[in-house]
Structure 1
């Protein structure tokens, strides 16, 4: 295929795994993916980010994390926050934690009739899941955080911005004026962090334009890369002040609807997955949670990859498969 012909063919489909909706709130949907042959009594509850679209977890047959989970015998629930509009500008961090994550978890418990749950979260969704786990009263047995930012003062890319926050030099009036941060603004921020490697994937496409399988995978992945979603202004201001400026997840003092979201409240079995080549969320941002939780069973896994640890190739990664299967109550 000629390079110029790539853009004239229909986009390959994403999200192939069978699913049904079991709960909705506003733009959010809780999707249920039944196991092919159920092997574990503890279902998985996936929390994706607020920044990109969740289809990256179900990209294509053979490269789908969700497909790998259901093929391995897990019932899976995915909380997809959807695409907020201007009318959602007043959604707060507290609301995302309690009205969305906690409410969806409760629905997953009722639907599955399970006694315990495993929460698996990705990127900023991992930050939210950690906060939720710190205030949760639900029986969460396992917590898996994938490239999740926890210590925001270990972020060399934004060090000047964080100092400006501390000094009171960041003006939130623009966010107040526009209400919701447009998707293009979010994309621009991510490009700034990932530069100069951002454009290198186009060179890879050019070199392998005659490989249809590679081209289809590239186009699916690129659709996710540029598919950022708007961010509610109120939640963004809370994140920048409480986590960016005051680093409350590490220093303490995070309060969600009157509850102290101290990471020491977390007792679930913990797996933290980081990537040694991750420019967006370096290891130093994720690893501090290991010393802050009360979990007796906790593992830090450093893999050779970049930020996008969300896709797989022909089954679950061995480190995740081994850890999760031992802690999910096998049925036989």
Structure 2
């Protein structure tokens, strides 16, 4: 386990003030959400449009942000000053978000095909229709505005599968951020592969009875992926007690972790049996809804974003996607500092990940 780099706070007054706020429970981070309006809702998702910034001209194709399951969509709007949403809204780009909300026992029968064939096609088409008439560039044949679809983690996998499965959708580009497509390259998942048949039956029985994987276990999974940072967090807070922005980021991440959701039973079963044990994602083809969905069918430009310090989705696991989309008009890799959440919305993302994404979208806006 790597210990935090030794550092002595330079500003004793700021350290005392910051630690006093923490002890008294006073917020350090600005956790207000970026203003938004709900555009529509379906049975298992809401679609939001973020309000434009007054005085900033809207331009470019709309960006649809796609979260994974279990992790809350607020990952895209972590805190003021460190928000994916805030950045792109300030650029003048129309920004939309599909939010699945919490998962209950009633969702236990929903599988991956539910999101790939129903929820995301609905979100893409509604975004394209709602954005029509605004932004630059050509329209799709039905008058809709083609969409930059960008998913984080499992949301990136859903994005790619949806793009491959529905060639008629108005998708301008597809982005996968920290999305592992070769799970044999993920060390933390190696513990699942040697489990014998008895162990598989125990896992299967557990998630079927519970209707899924409870939120505390999904939170534990995220913590294990960065166990060194989790265990040394108190030390880091003391050594950087004078860095209010650092403490604000920790506070925002804590809120994110406290709002983890459960996994639907059928989806987890697919991910465990079909993916984790057989590594089907690495083949580029997956059986969904009774047919094969092949990523090689994707013709749209593809952006792959990889975190240089990501243990949950390390570089080889993420960049494998580039080998699976030979038909893409422009398959581009963006490497940036940060772990699984950090590459998406860490403090360095404003100077690395987000400008890189925007440059890719500008290139394919018209």
Q: TM-score, normalised by structure 1?
A: 0.90
Which residue number in structure 2 is paired with residue 299 of structure 1? 332
Which residue number in structure 1 is paired with residue 161 of structure 2? 131
Between 1 and 2, higher relative CO (CA 8 Å, sep ≥ 6) is seen in 1
| Structure 2 residue ranges without an equivalent (≥5) | 1-16, 133-143
Q: Secondary structure at the match of 1:209?
A: coil
Query: 1:23, 1:30 within 8 Å by CA — same for their partners in 2?
Result: yes
Which residue number in structure 1 is paired with residue 86 of structure 2? 67
Which residue number in structure 1 is paired with residue 49 of structure 2? 32
Q: Secondary structure at the match of 2:39?
A: strand
1:247 aligns with 2:279: yes
Deviates more, 1:116-125 or 1:204-213: 204-213
Q: Which among 274, 290, 309 is matched to residue 343 of structure 2?
A: 309
CA distance in 2: counterparts of 1:301 and 1:273, whole angstroms: 5
Deviates more, 1:21-30 or 1:115-124: 21-30
Deviates more, 1:192-201 or 1:74-83: 192-201
Which residue number in structure 2 is paired with residue 83 of structure 1? 102
Any idea what the Cα deviations from partners look like across 1:163-214, whole Å, max 9, x if unmatched?
437x674120111111121111112222223222322233222233355444
CA distance in 2: counterparts of 1:168 and 1:290, whole angstroms: 36
Q: Which among 11, 31, 45 is matched to residue 14 of structure 1?
A: 31
Q: Secondary structure at the match of 1:32?
A: strand
CA distance in 1: counterparts of 2:31 and 2:280, whole angstroms: 37
1:17 to 1:252, Cα distance in 2 relative to 1, 3 A: closer
Q: Secondary structure at the match of 1:261?
A: strand
Tell which structure's C-alpha radius of gyration is larger. Answer: 2
Deviates more, 1:53-62 or 1:291-300: 53-62
1:268 aligns with 2:300: yes
Q: Which among 108, 111, 116 is matched to residue 130 of structure 2?
A: 111
Q: Secondary structure at the match of 2:222?
A: helix
1:129 to 1:298, Cα distance in 2 relative to 1, 3 A: same
1:144 to 1:2, Cα distance in 2 relative to 1, 3 A: closer
Q: Which among 157, 164, 173 is matched to residue 142 of structure 1?
A: 173
Which residue number in structure 1 is paired with residue 222 of structure 2? 190
Which residue number in structure 1 is paired with residue 118 of structure 2? 99
Which residue number in structure 1 is paired with residue 248 of structure 2? 216
Over the aligned positions, Cα root-mean-square deviation in angstroms equals: 2.3
Q: How far did 1:234 drift? A: 0.9
Which residue number in structure 1 is paired with residue 317 of structure 2? 285
Q: Secondary structure at the match of 2:185?
A: coil
Q: How far did 1:81 drift? A: 1.3
Query: 2:72, 2:259 within 8 Å by CA — same for their partners in 1?
Result: yes
1:273 to 1:90, Cα distance in 2 relative to 1, 3 A: same
| Structure 1 residue ranges without an equivalent (≥5) | none
Deviates more, 1:66-75 or 1:304-313: 304-313
CA distance in 1: counterparts of 2:192 and 2:67, whole angstroms: 25
Which residue number in structure 1 is paired with residue 357 of structure 2? 320
Count of paired positions: 328
Deviates more, 1:208-217 or 1:290-299: 208-217
Q: Secondary structure at the match of 1:305?
A: coil
1:225 aligns with 2:225: no
Q: TM-score, normalised by structure 2?
A: 0.82
Superposition map of 1:148-227 within 5 A: 148-164=179-195, 169-171=199-201, 172-227=204-259
Deviates more, 1:211-220 or 1:172-181: 211-220
